[in-house]
Amino acid sequence: MFDVIISGCGPTGAMLAAELRLHDVRVLVLEQETEPVSFVRIVGLHIRSIELMAMRGLLERILERGRQRPAAGFFAAIDKPAPEGLDSAYAYLLGIPQPVIVHLLEEHAIALGAQVRHGCAVAGFAQDDEGVTVELADGEQLRSRYLVGCDGGRSTVRKLLGVGFPGEPSRTETLMGEMEVGVPQEEIAAKVAEIRETDRRFSFGPAGVGVYRVVIPKAGVSDRAEPPTLEDFKQQLRTIAGTDFGVHSPRWLSRFGDATRLAERYRLGRVLLAGDAAHIHPPIGGQGLNLGVQDAFNLGWKLAAQIRGWAPETLLDTYQAERRPVAEDVLDNTRAQMELLSPEPGPQAVRRLLTELMDFDEVNRHLIEKITAIGIRYDFGAGPDLLGRRLRDIDVKQGHLYGLLHRGRGLLLDRTERLTVGGWSDRVDYLADPTAVLGVPCVLLRPDGHVAWVGDDQQDLDDHLSRWFGKPAN
């Protein structure tokens, strides 16, 4: 008997497993693949995800394997510098191969005590009042109190749950791969620059010694079950560039579509959805993995609270209430970005106009805060602007604020030195620091770093501790 079974050990599943283990929840992750994927997609970790890694003490390990780049040029790949003074101690983009980040997160989850079984596909499940019976493809049955589908865009769990996944199907696809070329670099560079003047979806650039990474848009959709061939790449290159650049010796070939869909619900009884299982959209702006990891961060402590028995009645439902609108917004901004990438004259004119508008600091800042997810404000009711937002990392007398959040507990940061977390001290840490650079007297942080309360009154604080952390222990 497990507390939680997670279907899928991608970035979302691995992050969720680690978050649950911080609270001693018995977790089993089932991953259908036995080996890491062969294609190496470089993903960008945006500011909020980098902050989450810092909050759990993972950032140093990730920095060793990734490359820092300026936090700019995300929105529809419009080339503008990042605005000055973004509200984060980690205001950069971190480029890292997806298999590396997945490996690091899985390693972290296992180190915290999660069990991960590879080569095990979830094929069915049935839920009752006490738990979920999960059936694997080989017929083995396992039992847990909750099941979370983190099994990607074609999620088996979502389909079996019967949750609708409305949205737009793929209308175009993009071929992506790494291969060698038969012509000089200068010839390629000149042609690529010419094509990219009108079609920024196309790219063809060096990705290591003698190897090029090729990304080619293609009208229509093919059978997704069939991987693309080198001939598909050659044909499409001839159509777009008038030459296939003599491409040969592919390292890997892949394709992705532009479907945009959002699950109607994130929870049905004891079964929940997170990451691509709950939302899919084109990769423009590089938000999918970030969104999934942030779903896991939001869900982990709430599901753990439910299992440990201290969750207030509606806590678990705040997962959907908070995260589904965030996904809706990401889907919308990718729809807008896809329009802006179209080579048609109308969208190109809108793109030129937006490019001008982004010279206004507020416009540029708004778009960057949206894509990097540092602009998110959950609806916790009326209150000061900070309420519902995440708090940036700040210096405190014991070092960095985020350094105090590694254990995934709540935190009261008290500049008045008068307040107490009382009977919640088993779930919420306390730090008195009159020197902390904070525009308010005290903040209560949830384990995901969002501000659950701002003020200086003990009774008001106790009400909010109850709201988020349940009944006091004594």
Nearer to ligand FAD, 101 or 465 (CB): 101
The minimum distance between CB 3 and ligand FAD, in angstroms, equals 18
The minimum distance between CB 8 and ligand FAD, in angstroms, equals 3
Nearer to ligand FAD, 41 or 196 (CB): 41
Looking at 8, 131, 177, 447, which residue binds ligand FAD (CB under 6 A)?
A: 8
The minimum distance between CB 276 and ligand FAD, in angstroms, equals 4
Q: What is the DSSP string of 359-371?
A: TSHHHHHHHHHHH
Q: What is the DSSP string of 103-144?
A: HHHHHHHHHTT-EEEES--EEEEEE-SS-EEEEETTS-EEEE
Footprint of ligand FAD on residues 378-397 (CB under 6 A)?
A: none
Nearer to ligand FAD, 287 or 364 (CB): 287
Distance CA 378, CA 333 (A): 18
Strand locations in 290-407 (E): 395-396, 399-400
Footprint of ligand FAD on residues 295-354 (CB under 6 A)?
A: none
Looking at 2, 3, 4, 10, which residue binds ligand FAD (CB under 6 A)?
A: 10
Helices (H), 170-314: 185-196, 230-241, 288-308
Distance CA 136, CA 142 (A): 8
Element of type H or E holding 432: strand 428-432
| Spatial contact of 73 and 128, defined as CB atoms under 8 Å apart | no
Footprint of ligand FAD on residues 218-257 (CB under 6 A)?
A: 256
Looking at 5, 18, 96, 122, which residue binds ligand FAD (CB under 6 A)?
A: 122
Nearer to ligand FAD, 254 or 355 (CB): 254
User: Rule CB under 6 A: is residue 7 a binding residue for ligand FAD?
Assistant: yes
- In this structure, the strands spanning 27-31 and 115-118 are parallel
Selection from 407, 294, 323 nearest residue 46 by Cα: 294
State the DSSP code for 390: B
Which window, 8-16, 194-202, 264-272, 378-386, contacts ligand FAD (CB under 6 A)?
8-16
The minimum distance between CB 122 and ligand FAD, in angstroms, equals 4
| Spatial contact of 348 and 198, defined as CB atoms under 8 Å apart | yes
Nearer to ligand FAD, 74 or 453 (CB): 74
Count CB neighbours of 368 within 10 A.
24
Whose structure tokens read 């040029």? 73
Distance CA 376, CA 411 (A): 20
Nearer to ligand FAD, 214 or 387 (CB): 214
The minimum distance between CB 152 and ligand FAD, in angstroms, equals 3
Nearer to ligand FAD, 9 or 76 (CB): 9
Binding mask 25-54 for ligand FAD (x = CB under 6 A): -----xxxx-------x-xx----------
Length of the chain: 474
The minimum distance between CB 409 and ligand FAD, in angstroms, equals 25
Looking at 152, 177, 228, 408, which residue binds ligand FAD (CB under 6 A)?
A: 152
Residues in contact with ligand FAD, total (CB under 6 A)? 32
Give the chain's end-to-end CA distance (angstroms, integer): 30
Phi/psi-derived region of residue 402, left when phi > 0, alpha when psi is between -120 and 50, beta in every other case: alpha
Looking at 53, 59, 104, 176, which residue binds ligand FAD (CB under 6 A)?
A: 176
- Give the bridge partners for 148, in sequence order: 6, 272
CA–CA distances in Å: residue 469 to residues 322, 411, 458? 17, 11, 15
Distance CA 419, CA 443 (A): 11
The minimum distance between CB 379 and ligand FAD, in angstroms, equals 24
Distance CA 284, CA 262 (A): 17
Sheet hosting strand 279-280, strand order edge to edge = 167-168, 260-262, 279-280
- In this structure, the strands spanning 141-149 and 2-7 are parallel
Nearer to ligand FAD, 45 or 304 (CB): 45
Looking at 9, 114, 163, 237, which residue binds ligand FAD (CB under 6 A)?
A: 9
User: Rule CB under 6 A: is residue 156 a binding residue for ligand FAD?
Assistant: yes
The minimum distance between CB 165 and ligand FAD, in angstroms, equals 14
Which window, 3-11, 66-74, 164-172, 306-314, contacts ligand FAD (CB under 6 A)?
3-11
The minimum distance between CB 100 and ligand FAD, in angstroms, equals 13
User: Rule CB under 6 A: is residue 203 a binding residue for ligand FAD?
Assistant: no
Footprint of ligand FAD on residues 253-292 (CB under 6 A)?
A: 256, 275-276, 283, 286-290, 292
The minimum distance between CB 422 and ligand FAD, in angstroms, equals 38
Selection from 97, 247, 255 nearest residue 179 by Cα: 247
Distance CA 290, CA 43 (A): 9
Return residues touching ligand FAD (CB under 6 A).
Answer: 7-13, 30-33, 41, 43-44, 98, 121-122, 150-152, 156, 176, 256, 275-276, 283, 286-290, 292
